[in-house]
Amino acid sequence: MRVDFAAGDHTTALWQQVEPTITEIEQLPFLEQLAAGTLDRHTFTHYLLQDGLYLNGYSRSMALLAGRTGNRDEARFWANSAATVITEEEQMQQALLADPQLASARHDILAGRAEPEPSPTTLGYVSFLLAGAATQSYGLGVAGVLPCFWVYAHVGKILGTMAGDLPDTHPYKTWIDTYGGADFDAATRQAVSILETQLARATRAEYEHMSSAFTRSCVYELHFWASAHAAQDWDTSPFTRQERAIMGPDPDETGAGNEAGTRNA
């Protein structure tokens, strides 16, 4: 099932612009396995822990937008959305993490730490949103936060189609139902409508900046989903291995350096 959340020509064009990124998100093994209920508990727990950190920054971004707009209805919407993230979505995550299997996975992932550490993608995404909401134009801030609404509402519909009627025993039913539900759809439509209005009022330069912010947040969404399966952290060894593969082995490790020294002697 696919739903058109666009509110007019401008947001329609934006969604079409990011369609390749959205298609990549749809094709992630994470979503396929989530719908089937086969997603590894450690992978889902890693996602939940990072999402909890992300939602904290996301709610702060929307609170900033509430203070930036002169429109009372929009201010109320952003303030209410920020509160919903803190109450309903975080409560849902806490309830999920109370499951014995997820609690065990959380214990393994934290490895003795009291709280999770934001991954590079989480830190980058949150920093991008906060910077946009606090230091850029109101319209650009709206464009930055909107993909989280729109992508999750879209994914909720995709998962609903992939999973079908979920039995109560499905391990991820609560999560899927939350983002595929009517309440989240309604919030998404209101957020998209606000961006449509801002785009219609924007100068050419402002429009381009807003479009860029929207596109970058969609890419961050892709990276955020993908980083859960990769269990992304601050380990640099994958990059070190990649560099060695490109540059070839260290001469000191192969003995080539010693041979060269002998010949030069």
CA atoms of 140 and 37, how far apart (whole Å):
37
CATH of the domain at 16: 1.20.910.10
Q: Does residue 36 fall inside a structural domain?
A: yes
Please tell me the distance from the alpha carbon of residue 112 to that of residue 42, in angstroms, as a whole number: 16
pLDDT one-digit tens code per residue, 52-66: 999 999 999 999 999
Same domain flag for 81 and 99: yes
Residue 3 lies in a domain: no
CA atoms within 13 A on the CB side of 262: 5
Q: Please state which of the ranges 41-50, 122-131, 140-149, 242-251 shows the lowest mean pLDDT.
A: 242-251
**Residue 4 in domain:** no
pLDDT grade, residue 26 (50/70/90)? very high
pLDDT in tens, 94-117: 899 999 999 999 999 999 999 999
CA–CA separation, 62 and 78 (whole Å): 5
Rg of the chain over all Cα atoms, to the nearest angstrom: 22
pLDDT of residue 88: 87
Co-location of 230 and 243 in the same domain: no
- Answer yes or no: are the C-beta atoms of 1 and 160 closer than 8 Å: yes
Q: How far apart are CA 101 and CA 98, in angstroms?
A: 8
> Tens digit of pLDDT for each residue in 126-145?
999 999 999 999 999 999 99
pLDDT digits (tens, 9 = 90+) for 151-191: 999 999 999 888 888 899 999 998 999 898 899 999 999 99
Is residue 258 located within the same domain as residue 211? no
Residue 64 lies in a domain: yes
Task: Specify whether 87 is located in the same domain as 143.
Answer: yes
| Any domain includes 2 | no
Residues 247 and 140 both lie in one domain: no
Same domain for 213 and 247: no
Count of domains for the chain: 2
Does 263 share its domain with 187?
no
pLDDT digits (tens, 9 = 90+) for 203-241: 999 999 999 999 999 999 999 999 998 999 998 876 666
Domain hosting 141: range is 9-234
Whole-number pLDDT of residue 249 = 61
